[in-house]
Every structure is written in structure tokens, then in C-alpha cells.
Amino acid sequence: MPSRVDDEKDSSMTISVLKAAVLELVRACEPLPKTIWVAYSGGLDSYLLLWVVVQLRSTLNIPFKAIHVHHGLQTEADAWAGHCQVVCESLSVPLLIEHAGVGEQVDKTGAAKGLEALARELRYAAFAKWVGAKDLLLLGHHLNDQAETVLLRLVRGTGVEGMAGMVGLCSNPVLCPGYIGRPWLKISKQVLREQALALGLKWVEDESNEDLRFDRNYIRHVLLPGIFNRWPSGLQALGRLAQLSGEHQAVLSGYLSESLCTLVDTKTAALRLDLLQQYEHIRQKALLRHWLITHTGIYPSHTLIEEIMQTVMGARKDAQPCVRWSQWQIRRYQQSLYILLAVQPPVPESKEWNCAQGVDMPWGERIIKWQGSDCESLQQLGLGRVRVQSRQVGQVESMTKSVNKRLKKIFQEHAVPPWQRDLWPLLFDSHQKLVSVPGLWQADCITSTFSGIKKVGFFWI
């Protein structure tokens, strides 16, 4: 019968394994992270991860913080945040609590099937708000989580990319500006639980993890137990499947990325259909899938790929088809595919701009600026002060039929997609005359005055 000394020795060895996994992952970051963030929900896995990082404080010699995302879904949410605060204070770890309410109710019919995905999106949005490009975000995902992910993606038909499961260390700017690290993907939940109990850690339990209406919970409580009962080594086998699929996908991604370089517009990130369709059908699907993953960080299902190829790519040339997917929409304009957020930014209100002062004008997510000449010359042209507005119908009096006709021609000549046109800034002088469509067109008074200067005028950058 094992002695207490043997138990303590085994526990010490396991803690060493947990520490080594974290150290190995951190040191694999090039360069080393400026700050380490531990995603701390208050649950067992994230608490143990936080505890291990604290033990490595002097070894790592890297500042670290904890971040807790408060979804407000359960009545205990405030208590969980308070628990995290108490724990972090006891460990002398700075804690940031970020509120990210889901705003969706779970009803008895299970109508909130999208709650898991929405909560995940909000979590990563919260992480992206604080985790810098040179930082590392640590997550407590383990081997059981990996097995769940593989099965979930299997039943959704996401292909080899999805079967690769979660990656131990990756850089995905779509989800988070910095590195995302999961050091314990090869360690089971049981091992983590045994260590947490041995250390006397007190964590919170989320009752919603027992709700079988959620896909991941159904896999965890119904499918996986049956698999492990029939195949005792099933957990390790699923982990190995994820690893092998990941290695296969890494090689395939290299080839696909090389091909995409010649198919994607460097300015708009749009996928050129005229070039894509030169490939055989099966390779078109692979390139389309890789393009979607690269720009969204989400693995598309087989059904989605087929829908895009038939509904969007297969539509007539003058059509403007659209497929909505998660928080994204896939649109086509002329011979290119575009990925856009499903919720587009609002059109800014009309503004007066004293551009002669040399101060740039924010517009949407970009800025308008005068380039190619000193701003004082604008005063001589009577353009020291202009009004910036969109072409949104009925917004202002200056949007006459002749102006709209001219704008339509300008946008078509520069292949500006229809959904971008209402947001594009338009500049009018004091006489309500259109003087610039920044980056696309300048009035004669500008082009003739600065005819000898290249790239002079108003630009939206």
C-alpha cells in the first residue's frame, strides 16, 4: 500500500510537470512576452494555472496579471468575481475584471444554443482589449477539453483543420493581439483535479456546465464517458488525433498560404475569384477554407463552404450575394470575395473640419488628411474649412442628383464595393460643392493648382 510519503512524492513530481509545461511554453515565445496574462474564471483549471504561475514568479521574471471576464449570466457571477479578487489579493497578483454581458436568456426550450459561441466571442474580445501584441495570454485548457473540441468539430464537419483541435501556442491576431498559450493540453482533467485538491485550493463551480442543452456539456457528460468506458485509452487517442491532424494541417497550410499570396488583394484582403476558379474544384474548396480561417480564426463547416461556393461564388456576375456566418458576413463584388463583420460600424455624422490647421480628421476607423502640399495653400483655394459627410440618402441638402451620379461613377471606376460607399467621406466647400472623395477623386481646383505634384489632395488612410 502506498505510503503518505509516496503520495507526497508523486504530487511533487506532478507539480514539477505542470511547472515545466508552463516554462516550456513561455520560453517558446519569440521574443519572450512583455507581460503574462492568466485567464482566471475562478474554476479549478484556471485557479491551478494561476497558482503554478505564481510559484514560477522568480524563475520567469516576467510581470504577470490575471484577467476575469464577468458575463453576468448566472446569479453567482458577482460572487465569482469577488472570489477571484480575494484569491488574487492573497497571491499578490493584480486582477482585472472585465464586464462582457452576453445579454441572451436561456429558456426551457434550449433556444440559446448560440450562447456558448457568443460567450466565447465576448471573452476573446475582452482579452484583446487588454492583452498587448507582445504579451502572452495563458489559458487552462487540458486534455479533456481537447478531446471535447475534437468531437465537437467532428460532428460539425469542420475538416482536418478542426480535427487539429486547440493549439498549444499560437499567434492569432483575429482573436488576440498577443500569443495565446495552453500549456496543459496533454494533461488530463483528473490529474489537475488531484493536484488542486492536494494543494487545498478552493474554486467555484459553474452549474451551467451540467446543462446538457449546450453541445460541449453533452459531449462531456454523455458522449465521452461512453467512449472511455468502451475504449479506456480513448482520451489519449483523441489527444493524439489532434496532434497528428495539427501536424498534417501545418504542412498543408504552408502550401495553401503560398497559393493564397497570389489570390488575395494585399490592400483589401479580398479573394479574387477569377484566379481562384482556375484551380480544380477540390482545391478551390481548400483555398476558400484556408482564407476564411486566416481572416476569422474560426473553422468553417463543410456546409458553409458549399453554401458560399453555390450561393456567393455561383451567383450571376451582377448580383451582390451575402452569407452570414457567426459574427461575419461573406460578400461578393465583381470578381472578389470579401469578409466583413456582420455588424458594420455606424456612419459618422456630418462634421466641420478646419483642415488648414493641419489637424487630421478621424472618420470611422481611419483618418482623413491633406497630403502633398502645405495646408496653408488650402486657404488660397477657399478650402481652409470644409464639411465632411457621407452620401447617406437624405442626410444633407448637398446630395443632389448630379452629385450622386458623379459619386456612382467614381466608386465604380475605383471598384469600391457598395457596402463601403455610404461610409466613404465626402468633402464639400462652403458653397456646398463637392471638392474631394478622399483617396479617389479631387476637384479640378485641386488637380489644376497642384498639377506638377504627385499624390496631392485629400486621402482617407
Give mean pLDDT, residues 302-317: 90
Report, as an integer, the average pLDDT of 218-233. 95
Picking from 443, 412, 449, 414, the residue whose alpha carbon sits closest to that of residue 426 is: 443
Helix, strand or coil for residue 142?
A: strand
Q: Residue 63's closest CA among 22, 35, 27? A: 35
Length of the chain: 461
Give the residue-averaged pLDDT of 145-164: 88
Report the Cα 136 to chain-centroid distance in Å: 15
**Cell 461610409 -> residue:** 423
pLDDT at position 400 is 62
pLDDT of residue 399: 57
Question: 246-250, 283-287, 445-449 — which is least confidently predicted?
Answer: 445-449
Cell representation of residue 378? 488650402
Query: Model-level pTM?
Result: 0.73
How much is the average pLDDT of 216-245?
95
Rounded to whole angstroms, the Cα distance separating 62 from 37 reads 10
Query: What are the cell numbers at 87?
Result: 484569491
Task: Say which residue the cell 505510503 belongs to.
Answer: 3
pLDDT at 311 over 80: yes
Which of 141, 110, 128, 118 shows the shortest CA–CA distance to 41? Answer: 141
- Residue 227: phi and psi, rounded to 5, are -65, -45
Residue 440: other Cβ atoms inside 10 A: 17
β-pairing verdict for 426-428 and 136-138? unpaired
Residue 337 has pLDDT above 60, yes or no: yes
d(CA 30, CA 28): 6
Alpha helices by DSSP H, 200-233: 215-218, 224-230
Residue, of 113 and 55, whose pLDDT is higher: 55
65 or 119, greater pLDDT: 65
Q: Which distant-in-sequence residues (6+ apart) come within 8 Å of 271 by Cβ?
A: 260, 263, 264, 287, 288, 291, 336, 337
Please check the confidence at residue 398 and state whether its pLDDT lies above 80.
no
Question: Do 100 and 71 touch, CB atoms closer than 8 A?
Answer: yes
